[in-house]
Amino acid sequence: GENVEQHPSTLSVQEGDSAVIKCTYSDSASNYFPWYKQELGKRPQLIIDIRSNVGEKKDQRIAVTLNKTAKHFSLHITETQPEDSAVYFCAASKNSGYALNFGKGTSLLVTP
Amino acid sequence: DTGVSQDPRHKITKRGQNVTFRCDPISEHNRLYWYRQTLGQGPEFLTYFQNEAQLEKSRLLSDRFSAERPKGSFSTLEIQRTEQGDSAMYLCASSAQSGRALNEQFFGPGTRLTVL
């Protein structure tokens, strides 16, 4: 089955700096890669996703890049703010609408 | 609130008892998913439905677990003869196969199960 590795497990940055979280996956058939943000005690919420026919996608301060050859994808957050502090999960799936295989999460702390 | 809802939000039970959780998806969503999340881990897929049909089950879903979605709307997840290792947050998600949020999985608040 699909195995998704995520690192780092914790990341601390100062407000205004950039944060990068990286994930690798094992199943070359995977072609849908969402990122979820989970604040303490709350449900995971989708922040951005990318499909395998696209190499990069950007939404304001958030961007995701995908390298299908190397089987890795990354989340980039620029100009971080304290409200970006949360746990971020990457996931991979053979197609959108199917079961998601999640990484173990990255706890991001943005200090003022 | 028109999002995914789950009931109960918390459940404490003794080992060996049976428990049942309910999930109500967003009304126009035809796909419904169950995940389990333990502390410090990402959600782990358990099973999913398209309408009333159960299309995929994870190997994590032992014989003690059963899920149903009889009318293609709400779903129930039952755990029989609970074990302490079943303690976790059980998350439900739903998605639509058309529209603006195509196939985006929206999660519910979860049911936290504690097995004593």
Q: What is the DSSP string of A38-96?
A: E-TTS--EEEEEEETT-SEEEETTEEEEEETTTTEEEEEE-S--GGG-EEEEEEEBSST
| CB neighbour list of residue A78: distance below 8 Å, 6 or more residues apart | A18, A61, A62, A63
Contact B33 A99 (CB under 8 A): yes
Q: Is A27 at the interface with chain B, CB within 8 A?
A: no
Contact A105 B103 (CB under 8 A): no
Q: From first to last of its 116 residues, what are the pLDDT tens digits of chain B?
A: 579 999 999 999 999 999 999 999 999 899 999 999 999 899 999 999 999 999 989 988 889 999 999 988 999 999 999 999 999 999 999 998 776 667 789 999 999 999 99
Q: From first to last of its 112 residues, what are the pLDDT tens digits of chain A?
A: 789 999 999 999 999 999 999 999 999 999 999 999 999 989 999 999 998 878 999 999 999 999 999 999 999 999 999 999 999 999 999 876 789 999 999 999 999 9
Distance, in Å, from the CA atom of A93 to the CA atom of A26, rounded to the nearest integer, reads: 11
Using alpha carbons, list the distances in angstroms from residue A94 to A40, B54, B108: 29, 18, 23
Top residue of A43, A57, A106 to mutate, by most chain B CBs within 10 Å, is A43
